[in-house]
Chain A
Amino acid sequence: MFSVKGITCGYGSKIVLEGIDLSVARGEFFGVIGPNGSGKTTLLRAMARVLNLQQGEIFLNGEDIWRIPLKDFARKVAVVSQTVPSVPMTVEEFVLLGRLPHYRSLQFLETEKDNDAAEHSMRVTGIEALRGRLMDQLSGGERQLAAIARALAQEPEWLFLDEPTAHLDIAHQVRILDFLLRLNQSSNLTLIMVLHDLNLAGEYCRKLLLMRQGRTHKTGSAEEVLDRGTIENVYGTPVAVGKNPLSSRPFVLPVPAGKQAGRERK
């Protein structure tokens, strides 16, 4: 159980998040959505023990995350950032870095277990064939997959993802999210994902948090949160909300200016 209690934090004198309360249970597929600048990434960073808190506390299984030794924390929580570093190292080397939290104190070479974990995560994300390629020569999508593979090699209980599908085409988006959903259902891997795309959020996340201007606006199931009034209120733009005929999940469509017939105009 990840509990965020009344946190306030920001960068220097600029406060981004104010009084955030939140809990995520084990096994959840949790999505964080909201307009630009609402503090989604900041929240993720705070929970990933990267950003200092000015007020409030965050608990993982009852322990203050800032009291947990950094390495122990990294064994439980893996993070896939928005931008994957483009470094001149091979995919295999990159993925193996994910095993660092599991290294014993004077360990020098990778153990068999390390190699196996890396193998497994590369296979599962389908990038085995890319293992010898250099990271800075991959496409954006391939790099994203490598980042996910690295995070999986960490064998975490909690996986944080910041816009994991940002640079991917629709096929890849679905493929990755399907895969993450499977992972979530089969291995109890808890996912906390920041998403821009409301539809993907609606389709895959069981629980959503809608943020607005540094505060939590609404938490609940996809149907509860992706409600037309709420979305129009928070995003400030007219939308149409419907149900996906095949999955019964909500979807949100933008309404261009000319097509807003039958609605109150400002």
Chain B
Amino acid sequence: MMQHRSKRWIFWLWLLVALALLAAGSALFIGPSGIPFKKIFQVLWNRQGGIEDQIIWGIRLPRLLLGFAIGGSLSLAGVILQGMFRNPLVEPYTLGISGGAAVGVSLSILLGLYHVSILTMPLAGFLGACSMILLLYGLNAKKKVLSLQGLLLTGVMINFIASSLIMLFLALSRSEDLQGIIFWIMGSLDEPNGFLIKIALGASLLFLFVTYFFHSDLNALALGEEEALHLGVPVERTKRLLFIITSLLVGVSVAVAGMIGFVGLVVPHFMRRIVGHDHRILLVASFLAGGVFLVFCDTLARTVIAPLELPVGVITGILGGSLFVWVLTRERGGKV
């Protein structure tokens, strides 16, 4: 039975890698400037300089990499959270960290700090996210025990407050700033700064690696905190560390790419059904699937109403949301 299981896992991994290549292909080969396939291959093989080179290497490739990084990060965060909270409806934005990032970014735009350096916006977002993490932790960790219920409730409340604050900033801002804030909130993968893309990619891979140290803890936590304690899992320490990892994953993602919802909710949920609950496969499977999903949605966003681009969050929301509802209703119908 267990050998079958390992075989199954390897099968899923190969499938996901194949899908990832497919998604990468679609992102590199499809675009509004209509470069012929042969040319794209040539440019990928050796860099020759020229317009096609610029487009493929300078525009499409960075976007593709960021898509994998953000999609992977958000899905990973979703898996961890759903595992910790034992609640399949928890997603990275529920905790209010994204609200903090949004407030940070809006504030920096409002105060005109954007003109200081192109890095101020993501930095402000990240700082906003970090402040939220500290606030959440401070409010919910009493006597060394981190209350998960409390985190959830506080997180939802903070999101509400953050939305209202952002409305306030929108009302106070000038028209140029207004669109800056709104577009940041809608999320997009076209980050011009290569440094930030590298950070996002590096962070996502690093945290994936780190999270694997907790694979057995996460499996045990599925039984409940007390049962996990019985199995020798240091529950409090694990919760703390996982909370920090998730927050950083979300903080970096939101700071660099804005709010892209649904990925962290839908992808882990689906992967759970497909590859099972064992975190040994679920972590990497969700990571890969999240990247594939986001890159695929981004390609759609770029081409559906070319040359205009839809914000990628719109596609993830519609596609992800509809898929979610469809699967749920099918399941409900089958169960009677």
Contacts and interface: CB of A to CB of B under 8 A. Distances in A.
Given A89-B277, A92-B1, A71 B232 contact: yes
Contact of A100 (B220, B277, B280): B220
Contacts of A6: none
A50 B230 contact: yes
A132 B215 CA distance: 22
A48 interface: yes
B278 A100 contact: no
B222 interface: yes
Interface in B237-290: 276-278, 280
B1 A132 contact: yes
Contact of A97 (B6, B231, B234, B280): B231
Nearest to A101: B232
Interface stretch (A56-64, A79-87, A241-249): A79-87
A231 B1 CA distance: 51
B208 to A, nearest CB: 15
Contacts of A115: 2
A105 to B, nearest CB: 9
Contacts, number: 59
Contacts of B276: 89
B216 A131 contact: no
B155 to A, nearest CB: 24
Interface in B197-231: 215-216, 219-220, 222-224, 226-227, 229-231
A129 interface: no
B233 interface: yes
Contacts of A93: 277-278
A77 to B, nearest CB: 8
A97 to B, nearest CB: 6
A131 B232 CA distance: 24
Contact of A78 (B2, B216, B230): B230
A97 B217 CA distance: 10
B230 A48 contact: yes
A133 to B, nearest CB: 12
Contact of B224 (A73, A85, A89, A101): A85
A88 interface: yes
A211 B43 CA distance: 80
Contacts of A132: 1
Contacts of B219: 97, 100
Contacts of A81: 226-227, 230
A103 interface: yes
A156 B6 CA distance: 28
Interface string B1-43: 1100010000000000000000000000000000000000000
A73 B226 contact: no
B83 to A, nearest CB: 12
A35 B221 CA distance: 32
Contact of B233 (A100, A108, A154): A100
A75 interface: yes
Contacts of B216: 100, 103
Contact of B231 (A88, A89, A98, A108): A98
Contact of B230 (A74, A103, A109): A74
Nearest to A98: B231
Which of A48, A79, A85, A100: most chain B Cβ within 10 A? A100
Contacts of A232: none
Interface in B107-149: none
A70 interface: yes
A118 to B, nearest CB: 9
Contacts of A50: 226, 229-230
B336 to A, nearest CB: 15
Given A103-B216, A110-B2, A89 B232 contact: no
A132 B262 CA distance: 32
B70 to A, nearest CB: 27
A92 to B, nearest CB: 6
Which of B224, B231, B276, B277: most chain A Cβ within 10 A? B231
9 contacts: A79-B230, A87-B222, A89-B276, A89-B278, A93-B278, A97-B219, A100-B216, A100-B232, A110-B2
Given A78-B230, A108-B215, A109-B6, 13 more contacts: A48-B230, A70-B229, A74-B232, A81-B227, A81-B230, A85-B222, A87-B223, A89-B277, A100-B216, A100-B233, A101-B232, A103-B216, A108-B280
Interface of A: 48-50, 70-75, 78-79, 81, 85, 87-89, 92-93, 97-98, 100-101, 103, 108-110, 115, 131-132, 154
The 3 closest A-B pairs by CB, nearest first: A74-B232, A101-B232, A71-B232
